[in-house]
Amino acid sequence: MRKIEHEEKTYVAKRFHNNGIFKQIIRSLTLSKGKRSYVNAIHLCLNDIPTPRPIAYIEIRTRLGLVRESYYICEYSDMDAIEDGLNEQGDFNRPLTQALARFVADIHRKGVIHHDLNSTNIRYEARGDKYHFSLIDLNRMRFHTPPLSLDRCLDDTTRFSCLSEMYRYFIKHYLDARGLPPQLFDHAIKIKQRHDRAWTRRKTFSRHLKRLFRSHL
């Protein structure tokens, strides 16, 4: 990602590189990540979901017409990553967590699944006693006709935090913002636990694979 200064304004260009002929073919038959980010940003704006203003996308193609790399360009935002505000020394920011729950509930009601809703892809700022949010890193995002299944929505919330007191507080207020019964809390926690176990297995497998590779060098 690179910041660009132009006519007293700041922009961000994110580069997506397609390594190998297989990825180049896939990205040429579908939307490149740069184009998908741009299209998704437009959809967010049309649905009144904040994201840095989209400017353009660029595709660099090979002689065969395959997409070798793509770029997404948008306005720069100086909003902070949500991870900087949620966790405080010995506690967590409850008003911010409640506001985040309402924001995520709203995007899910509108049929948006981010697919990478981690603590750096959600940006926020405080304006007076209210919090405002914005989404970045949009290339995995998908739009669906609401209403979405609850399990799909809950799975989308599993990436921004570990299973902490803060996450449990978030889920409580997420369900409330969706008008869902509190009895679903245990079901939501089970989905989070399932995600965390799968993530741990992938991380452990990747670590063992790297050790095996290094041992044969």
Q: Model confidence over 184-209: pLDDT tens digits?
A: 999 999 999 999 999 998 877 676 66
Q: Model confidence over 1-34: pLDDT tens digits?
A: 899 999 889 999 999 998 888 778 887 888 999 9
The mean pLDDT value for 173-184 works out to 97
pLDDT of residue 212: 63
pLDDT of residue 216: 55
Q: Model confidence over 53-95: pLDDT tens digits?
A: 999 999 999 988 898 999 999 999 999 999 878 875 568 899 9
pLDDT of residue 134: 98
Q: Model confidence over 96-107: pLDDT tens digits?
A: 999 999 999 999
Look over the chain and give the mean of its residue pLDDT values, rounded to a whole number.
Answer: 91
SS3 annotation, the chain: CEEEEECCEEEEEEEEECCCHHHHHHHHHCCCHHHHHHHHHHHHHHCCCCCCCEEEEEEEECCCCCEEEEEEEEECCCCEECHHHHEECCEECHHHHHHHHHHHHHHHHCCEECCCCCCCCEEEEEECCEEEEEECCCCCCEECCCCCCHHHHHHHCCCCCCCCHHHHHHHHHHHHHCCCCHHHHHHHHHHHHHHHHHHHHHHHHHHHHHHHHHHCC
Assess whether pLDDT exceeds 90 at residue 211. no
pLDDT of residue 28: 80
pTM: 0.90
Out of 72-76, 149-153, 159-163, 185-189, pick the least confident.
159-163
pLDDT of residue 18: 87
